[in-house]
Amino acid sequence: MVAFAAASKSLKNPKFQSSISPLFRFQSARTLLVQSVSESVKLQKLADSDSGIWEVNLERPSSKNAIGRDMLRGLRHTLESVNRDQTAKVLMISSSVPKERKTMSPSEVRDFVNSLRSTFSYLEALCIPTIAVIEGAALGGGLELALSCDLRICGENALLGLPETGLAIIPGAGGTQRLPRLVGKSTAKELIFTGRIVGGKDALSMGLVNHCVLAGEAHLKALETARLINQKGPVAIRMAKRAIDGGMEVDSGLVLEEECYEQIMHTKDRLEGLAAFAEKRKPNYIGR
């Protein structure tokens, strides 16, 4: 029912491989460091020029990638590790997560959904930018995971929706709150009330995703975006995210913006940015 297709599969797609230069393929294989957090949660840290870009893959093929309790615990543990590590600058999320609730009792479902909601809220609150990579279907909990990220990038063959009302339930992991903030209240109500599933291009037109690219190329576009973010001042990026997210929740958003700007004023990165601009060179930011 719910799927958020693993971008790692797109790397093996012949069509996808043919669209990448041999140099890019060599660099990707050479610079990727893989750390297994658990059997179902894989944390990848890119190295060399891409150092600072991390990727989490949720993989559980034996159970059709059902997002069970073990995977959820692994995801939370992974996000906590990312949040503690000052070298992490951008996080990409790739997954395939159907529901695993039909065998649960009502109390177990309640506990599970609460844990799901809490984990997605933790993901949303990470101090670094997060990018959801969507290939295939992102339905129900899969879309709610993507909505918890800062940016969403999908392939044109992607399918996105919150079909829970067809099962006589509602999106319970943040979908009723995050979707209207992206696409507007009226559109969100129509999507949730009807359970309508939209394609990648329609998702782009309504503002549900930031980019819709050719099928199989969402991971590449996400990596390009992550690289652009990774080149910017780390403190500035964190403060920008804090100012945007916090300002959306209060009336005095400009006051928060001022506070965040003040945090940047005395950093070495700000002086490096000014010097690099004056000297017409690429800045070397250190995150302080």
Q: Which of 55, 144, 217, 262 is catalytic?
A: 144
Q: Is 144 labeled as catalytic in the residue annotation? A: yes
Helices (H), 20-139: 22-31, 69-84, 106-124
Q: Which of helix, strand or coil describes residue 115?
A: helix
Residues contacting residue 226 through CB under 8 Å, at least 6 positions apart? 50, 53, 90, 92, 131
Place of tokens 């209207």: 180
What is the Cα–Cα distance from 128 to 285, expressed in whole angstroms?
A: 15
- Rounded CA-CA distance 205/211 in Å is 10
| Catalytic residue selected from 164, 257, 258, 279 | 164
Distances (CA, A) of 82 to 129, 215, 273: 12, 29, 26
* CA–CA distance, 124 with 175 (Å, rounded to integer): 13
Tokens of 28: 């990707």
Q: Is 164 a catalytic residue?
A: yes
For residues 43 and 28, give the distance between their C-alpha atoms in angstroms, rounded to a whole number: 15
Tokens in use for 65? 């990638």
Q: How far apart are CA 156 and CA 187, in angstroms?
A: 20
- The residues carrying an active-site annotation are 144, 164
